[in-house]
């Protein structure tokens, strides 16, 4: 039997599925950590406070004098 045939044996393949899931989970969590760090460094580079909570409220539109109609005078 070759090495590939030994690795594809049904008695061995079931071991690779959890190992692949663990490896994929590690890669995903590491990439999320790296992306969060890059975003934080970009905010610091732009002069923003990275720990400041985002403004979740919708900004209210300001009424401009050019947008007034005759009924608003």
User: What pLDDT, on a 0 to 100 scale, did the predictor assign at position 23?
Assistant: 98
Interval 18-73: pLDDT, tens: 999 999 999 999 999 999 999 999 999 999 888 887 776 766 666 666 655 555 55
Q: Residue for token digits 């990275």?
A: 50
Q: pLDDT value at position 68? A: 57
* Residue of higher predicted confidence among 6 and 45: 45
Per-domain boundaries in the chain: 14-47
Give residue 8's pLDDT: 82
Burial of 48 from C-beta contacts in 10 A (0-12 / 13-18 / 19+): exposed
Positive or negative torsion for Cα 37, 43, 47, 53: negative
Its pTM stands at 0.57
Burial class of residue 19 (count of CB atoms within 10 Å of its CB; 0-12, 13-18, 19+) = exposed
């Amino acid at each position: 039997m070759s090495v590939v045939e030994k690795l594809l044996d049904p008695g061995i393949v079931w071991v690779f599925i959890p190992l692949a899931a663990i490896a994929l989970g590690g890669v995903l969590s590491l990439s999320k950590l790296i992306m969060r760090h890059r975003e934080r460094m970009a905010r610091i580079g732009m002069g923003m406070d990275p720990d400041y909570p985002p403004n979740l409220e919708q900004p209210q539109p300001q009424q401009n004098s050019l947008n007034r109609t005759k009924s608003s005078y």
